[in-house]
Structure 1
Amino acid sequence: MLVTKTAQAGSTANSDVLITVSPSETPGIHLQLKSKDVVLKLFGEQIEKVIMDKAKELGADNVTIKAEDKGALDYTIRARLQAALERASN
């Protein structure tokens, strides 16, 4: 999946996540995760794993992913990421 522009999916409402994807000039998937400190401490690794696994599953490369988590469940994170990647790749 070739990301050609910046796109978003989701919101900053409780129990959701705002995913922003944009093209990157360097190879790979670059993730920036933002959430409350306690959430990052308890669930940060799981959230990162969900995002990275889904991005790889969709064939994303040369992409920067910014995720602003507000307590989203795994299936919500996957859906928001897929929507943002599809919007960014035409």
Structure 2
Amino acid sequence: MRIEKNAIAGTLESSDVQVTIEPSTNGIELTIQSSVMNQYGRQIKKVVLDTLTKLEVEDAAVIVIDKGALECTLKARVECAVFRSLDASHKNVSWEVL
């Protein structure tokens, strides 16, 4: 999947995460800011990269600002940002695959 435009999903509220995705040509460029980076930084990175891989995103600049979100919330925010960048919310998305 090719990221076509900038998109944001999530908020900066406690227990949420904000994911920003932008087009890039340099592979996946991941920036993570988290209030629990010392405890869960590796897992946050893994979830983001695994989700992007599952969606077949190869080139994107991704900024994650985590405020203690659960893993399922993080995954959903990444998916939402990707789909918003493609205007996929107006198209037929194969939700059962996700």
* TM tier relative to shorter chain: over 0.9
Q: Identity over the aligned pairs, expressed in percent?
A: 38
Give the aligned partner of residue 33 of structure 2: 34
Offset from partner CA, 1:32-82 (integer Å, 9 cap, x none): 00012xx11110000000000001000011101100000000000000000
Partner Cα distance (2:25, 2:60) in 1: 8
| Structure 2 unaligned spans of 5+ | 88-98
Question: 1:47 aligned to 2:44?
Answer: yes
* RMSD over aligned Cα atoms: 0.8
- Report runs of 4+ in structure 1 exceeding 6 Å deviation: none
CA distance in 1, matches of 2:15, 2:57: 25
Paired position in structure 1 for 2:7: 7
Q: Alignment partner of 2:18: what SS?
A: strand
Larger radius of gyration: 2
* TM-score using structure 2 length: 0.85
Q: How many residues align?
A: 87
Q: What TM-score, normalized by structure 1, do the two folds share?
A: 0.93
